[in-house]
Amino acid sequence: LHHRSPGPVGAALADDRVVLEIIADGVHLHPDIVRIAASAAAGRVALVTDAMAAAGAADGSYRLGALDVEVAGGVAHVVGTDTIAGSTLTQDAALRVTVGAGVPLAVAVRALTETPARVLGREDLGTLEPGRLADAVLLTADLRVARVWLAGEPA
């Protein structure tokens, strides 16, 4: 994003038809960028993970297709490079990073639930209403997973 040439980021922010996928892990995007995007594209941000096999797992060696990946400090890199190799992000962590960046909780939750469901055309997901699947996650006050329901049943 440049002040004289907005480029693809500026075009995406300016176009109400575009939903921005944000990897809110503090690695792919700085938290300030997460907050700016959420503000500039209200209702058009979908939090995604770009997660690989190491998501939620310990640091160590992993494979991503044909690539050897090393995870250190929760950050995945192609072995021998500085290239990010997906993420180890989970959705609850994305929510914590997004809220920590200054995005209001309700806006961040919508970016995890309603917006991605809308993009996928999944009218059965995204909100808790009659006729929906009733997939739900109960979070603690510090946004940690406390309990999960799938189709209304405890998981």
Tens of pLDDT along the chain (155 residues)?
888 999 999 999 999 999 999 999 999 999 999 999 999 999 999 999 999 989 989 999 999 999 999 999 999 999 999 999 999 999 999 999 999 999 999 999 999 999 999 999 999 999 988 988 889 999 999 999 999 999 889 99
Give residue 1's pLDDT: 80
Other CB atoms within a 10 A radius of the CB of residue 66 amount to: 5
Q: Which amino acid is at 111?
A: A
Which residues are catalytic, by number? 50
Give residue 62's pLDDT: 95
Distance CA(135)–CA(118), nearest Å, equals 15
Give residue 33's pLDDT: 95
Strands 20-22 and 45-47, bridge-based pairing:
parallel
Give residue 105's pLDDT: 98
Give residue 97's pLDDT: 97
Q: Are 100 and 89 in contact, with CB atoms under 8 Å apart?
A: no
Q: Identify any residues that bridge with 20 across adjacent strands, giving them in sequence order.
A: 45
Give residue 21's pLDDT: 96
Residue ranges of alpha helices (H) inside 41-85 are none
Give residue 101's pLDDT: 98
